[in-house]
Amino acid sequence: MTHTFPKDFLWGGATAANQFEGGFNQGGKGWSVADCARSHLDTDVKDYKKQNEVLMKDVEEALANPDDMDHYPKRHGSEFYSHYKEDIALLGEMGFKVFRMSIAWSRIYPQGDEDQPNEEGLQFYDAVFQELQKYGIQPLVTISHYEPPLHLALEYNCWHDRRTIGFFMNFVRTIVDRYGRYVKYWLTFNEVDSMIRHPFTTGGLIKDRFAPEKFEEVIFQSMHHQFVASALATKYIHEKDPDAKVGCMLTKLTYYPYSPNPLDVLEAQQRMRSTYCYSDTQVFGEYPAYLLARFKNHGIRIQMEPDDLKIMKAYPVDFISFSYYSSSCVAHHTDNLETTAGNTITAVKNPYLPTSEWGWQSDPTGLRISLVDLYDRYRKPLFIVENGLGEKETLVKDGDTYTVNDDAHIAYYRDHFKAMYDAIYEDGVQLLGYTSWACIDLVSESTKQMSKRYGFVYVDCDDHGKGTFNRYRKKSFYWYKHIIETNGAAL
């Protein structure tokens, strides 16, 4: 059987500015929350107060050490800032149709609350978009990917403060006016469901030390502001360009019940709803009944302005994008069950699935299940904007240069692409495209390691920021190029 994908299928790869771009103190960029990120952040959300204290100390230490690249690896990322021409040429060589990137908010509005944008920052992205255009690659832009300006976090509690909607909209208007002619696909918030799991990197909640019992209310108040902001951004983008499409982006944490015990099945369903509640709100434009019930039962009171719900209803998203790395097992009673790590969660280990060095389990069938679930639920086009495998790798000599024999990546992608094919042709799912995470090696979000490598391109940099930052094509580079060339038929 050949696996030719739909004619206009968008093959590509994904990155995020805070993990990839570097140049954190160049071109007038301000500090973002990510520039203070050390590996022990966001570890135990339950102990919220303690974490907040640790975080404040970290931020002070980070600000006092602006030249430290070793402990703050997101400051250098992969140095796309100085390598963008070479990187985009490599993507062009692979035949990319689409490149997912984010625009660092603090490069455009260094503090977040200025009236005027930073022209030098705007010029950097002018150059990036022009370079992409040269190779016929269309950008897929995440407006906010875990990188709120630090000043908004320190002075306003960022998303908890309603004024952040206005600051965000200044940013949105600036980038849409400037780059709208290049960008047809926009995503408002990366993994919109994740603030409850890591509130600081996503929501910038630093200024106040909220009481732990207020945690849920603080998160949902901040989420409410993001929902309104997302709807206003969608409105603005559509007004400027009726053909542009705006998507939500969720972490597709596909939960399986560990056993047929109805209590395990119920647990899986409840967990699914706890991530779907965010995309349900953005797709249907209203809070789902089960989320309103949670607000009521947990005494959560959301402050709203009179038109908020109308705005959310009037401007829902056009498509659903998501990250998918693995499925996860859950059980009503987890005592004596082995657990393993996943994308921002810990789950019961599934005995049927292989596990990576970081504990993440590979499950291509879970991708097909996820696609079907989402399409049946929303009946809107889907876009896979993150999927991949983090691996430790070694450069080996290859004639006059070096390469990496990353067969594990190739096997992972092959199986996941077949699952996508089945979802499209057997299950009738409308899938717009696929951007692997990450097309070029970058700094890991969860562990802040460079050695957790996802790319088709190896970046010579270690976990301490040491290396030449030279780029090398891996074996998967040539494999993916061939998949794109044949539109999947070479699978």
Residue 370 lies near ligand BG6 (rule: CB under 6 A): no
- At what angle are helices 364-378 and 407-425 packed, to 10 degrees? 30
Query: Which residue number, 223 or 424, has a Cβ lying nearer to ligand BG6?
Result: 223
Helices vs strands, H then E, count in the chain: 15, 16
Candidate ranges 232-240, 394-402, 408-416, 445-453; the one touching ligand BG6 (CB under 6 A): 445-453
CA 81 to chain centre: 19
Q: Write the DSSP string, 370-431.
A: HHHHHHHHH-S-EEEEE----B----EEETTEEE---HHHHHHHHHHHHHHHHHHHTT---E
Among 221, 254, 323, 436, which residue interacts with ligand BG6 (rule: CB under 6 A)?
Answer: 323
Query: Which residue number, 386 or 422, has a Cβ lying nearer to ligand BG6?
Result: 386
Residue 441 lies near ligand BG6 (rule: CB under 6 A): no
Residue 391 lies near ligand BG6 (rule: CB under 6 A): no
Among 147, 191, 264, 267, which residue interacts with ligand BG6 (rule: CB under 6 A)?
Answer: 191
CB 295 within 8 A of CB 289: no
Number of residues that bind ligand BG6 (CB under 6 A): 14
Helix (H, G, I), strand (E, B) or coil at 296: helix
Among 280, 386, 393, 422, which residue interacts with ligand BG6 (rule: CB under 6 A)?
Answer: 386
**Binding residues among 31-90 for ligand BG6 as defined by CB under 6 A:** none
Q: How far is it between the farthest Cα atoms of the chain?
A: 67
Return the active site residues.
191, 386
Query: Which residue number, 118 or 251, has a Cβ lying nearer to ligand BG6?
Result: 251
- Residue 438 CB, shortest distance to ligand BG6, in Å, is 7
Q: Distance (Å, rounded) from C-alpha 372 to C-alpha 370?
A: 5
Tell the residue number behind the tokens 């696909």, with chain if given.
Answer: 185
Residue 437 lies near ligand BG6 (rule: CB under 6 A): yes
Phi and psi at residue 111, to the nearest 5°: -100, -20
Rg of the chain on CA atoms, in Å:
21
Residue sitting closest to ligand BG6 (CB): 446
Query: Which residue number, 111 or 446, has a Cβ lying nearer to ligand BG6?
Result: 446
Among 4, 111, 334, 446, which residue interacts with ligand BG6 (rule: CB under 6 A)?
Answer: 446
Cis peptide before 438 (omega within 30 of 0): yes
- Residue 252 CB, shortest distance to ligand BG6, in Å, is 10
Q: Which residues sit at the interface with ligand BG6, rule CB under 6 A?
A: 16, 19, 190-191, 323, 343-344, 386, 390, 437, 444-446, 452
